[in-house]
Amino acid sequence: MLVAAGQGNRLGLGVPKAMMGRGGRPLFLEPLAVLAGLPGVMGGAVVVPPGWEEEAGRWLAPYPSFQAVSGGAQRHDSVWAGLAHRPREAAVVLVHDAARPFLPWEVAETCLREGSRWGGAVASLPAADTMALLGEGDAIEEVPARSRLRLLQTPQAFRASLLEGAHRWFRETRPSLEVTDDVGLVLAYLKAHPEEGGRIVAVQGSFDLRKVTYPEDWAWAQRKGPAFRVGLGYDIHRLVEGRPLFLGGVEIPYDKGLLGHSDADVLCHAVADALLGAAALGDIGQHFPDDDPRFAGASSWHLLQRVAEMVGEAGWEIASVDAVVVAEAPRLQPYRQAMAEEMARAMGTLPSQVAVKATTHEGMGPQGRGEAISAQAVALLVRKQEGAMG
C-alpha cells in the first residue's frame, strides 16, 4: 500500500501540492484516512518532496504503519522510493496521487480486489468528449472510438511483484521510455514480458477523484465537504486574590482574578477552542502552550484574534458564537454586551453574531463556592465561497 504524493507540482503557491491542504492539513491526509481504514491494508509510504519528510512524519503520527519517504525527480522515481518501503508481506500495492484528495473508499476497494485478481486495476472514467490523436503540426491523425476510451485516474493497484518487476525493468533497461503513470509503465513491461501473464483492467473511477492541478481545482477542493461546521469549547480557571479579572477581553472590577499562564480569560479561551474545534485545528493548549514563555501574561483577546485568523486561513467564516459564563460573583449581566462586542472585534465579526450569557452555579461546586469561573461556547463556521489562494 502506497500513497505516491507526487512532487514538483507547486500550483504557484511555493508549497508542494502534497503538503498544502485544507484546514491547515496536508492534502495527503484525506486519501490516507480512507486507505488506512480499509480492511487488509497493512501500511505503506507517503512520498513527499525531499526536505518535507519530517513535517509529513509529524502528520503521520496517527498512522504508525505509514511512513514519510523522500521522493525523486520524476513520478516513477517517487513510486520506486515508496516501493522500497512497502510492507514486504503485502501482495498488492496501490498507488494514489495526493493531488486527488477525495478518494471514495469503494473505488480503492475495487482497485485492490481487481488488481489482485488480474494483475492491475485502475480507476477510470468514460470520455465525455470525442478524443483525437495528433500528429505533426497538430494535425489530427486518428479519432478513436469513444466507447473504447477511458480517462485514467488513480488509485492504480497492482500485484506487488508485477509492479516491482516492471519498475526494476524500466529503471535497468528502458529509462528513456515516456510513461506518465504506473499503468503505462506496467503495460510496457507486460508487452515486453508476455510470460508474466497479467492484465490491467479499467474499473469505475469517480468525478470526486478530480486532480488538483489548476487554481480553479484548488478552489473546488476548498469547497468540497460540508458547508457548515460546529465546535464546542470549555474552560475553567481558579479565582485568586491579586489578579485582574478579564472575561471576553473586558476587565471587570472585582477583588479577585483568574489564575493562569496568560491573563486566564476563560471566556476567550472557551470561544477560541470552539472555533478551533469547528475547524478541526486542534485546541489552544496546542497552539499556545502554557509552558511557553511567549504566552506568559498574554492577552487572551489577542489569542482569540489569532485563532479567528487561523480559522479564516483554513477557509472558514465565523457565522455565530454563543457562550455562557458560570460565575457566582461578580454579577456579569452589566458586561454581557461589552464582552460580546470585544470578542466580535477580536474575531472580525459583527457584535450581533456573538452572544454571551451569564449564570451562577446556585452555590454548588467550585464555581458556586466562588473558587473558579468557567465558560462554555459553541461556534458555527460556514465554508467561504471562494477558496483562498494562500
Q: Which residues bind Mg ion (CB under 5 A)?
A: 235, 269
Closer by beta carbon to Mg ion, 87 or else 365: 365
What are the grid coordinates assigned to 209, written together? 477523484
Closer by beta carbon to Mg ion, 124 or else 262: 262
To the nearest whole angstrom, how small is the minimum distance from the Cβ of residue 96 to Mg ion? 40
| H-helix segments, the chain | 29-36, 53-59, 75-83, 105-118, 160-173, 182-192, 215-223, 266-278, 284-287, 300-313, 336-347, 365-368
> How many helices, marked H, and strands, marked E, lie in the chain?
12, 16
Closer by beta carbon to Mg ion, 283 or else 313: 283
Q: Find the helix packing angle between 300-313 and 336-347, rounded to 10°.
A: 50
| Residue 205: alpha-carbon gap to chain centroid | 22
Look at residues 41, 51, 48, 120 and name the one whose alpha carbon lies nearest to residue 81: 48
To the nearest whole angstrom, how small is the minimum distance from the Cβ of residue 247 to Mg ion? 12
What are the grid coordinates assigned to 188, written together? 510496457
What are the grid coordinates assigned to 364, written together? 454548588
Region of 44 on the Ramachandran plot (φ > 0 left; ψ -120 to 50 alpha; else beta): left
Q: Are residues 174 and 193 in contact, defined by beta-carbon separation less than 8 angstroms?
A: no
Closer by beta carbon to Mg ion, 30 or else 235: 235
Cell 472590577 appears where? 253
Closer by beta carbon to Mg ion, 158 or else 246: 246
Closer by beta carbon to Mg ion, 109 or else 263: 263
Q: Are residues 259 and 385 in contact, defined by beta-carbon separation less than 8 angstroms?
A: no
Look at residues 192, 9, 211 and name the one whose alpha carbon lies nearest to residue 99: 211
Closer by beta carbon to Mg ion, 258 or else 340: 258
To the nearest whole angstrom, how small is the minimum distance from the Cβ of residue 284 to Mg ion? 7
Cα–Cα distance, 277 to 55 (Å, whole number): 22
To the nearest whole angstrom, how small is the minimum distance from the Cβ of residue 267 to Mg ion? 10
To the nearest whole angstrom, how small is the minimum distance from the Cβ of residue 266 to Mg ion? 6
Q: Which residues are CB-neighbours of 195 under 8 A, at least 6 positions away?
A: none
Closer by beta carbon to Mg ion, 115 or else 260: 260
To the nearest whole angstrom, how small is the minimum distance from the Cβ of residue 272 to Mg ion? 9
Question: String of b and e for 269-292 (b: at least 16 CB within 10 Å)?
Answer: bbbbbbbbbbbebeebeebbeeee
To the nearest whole angstrom, how small is the minimum distance from the Cβ of residue 262 to Mg ion? 7
Closer by beta carbon to Mg ion, 97 or else 235: 235
| Chain residue whose CB lies nearest Mg ion | 269
Look at residues 96, 120, 121 and name the one whose alpha carbon lies nearest to residue 31: 96
To the nearest whole angstrom, how small is the minimum distance from the Cβ of residue 276 to Mg ion? 13
To the nearest whole angstrom, how small is the minimum distance from the Cβ of residue 277 to Mg ion? 14
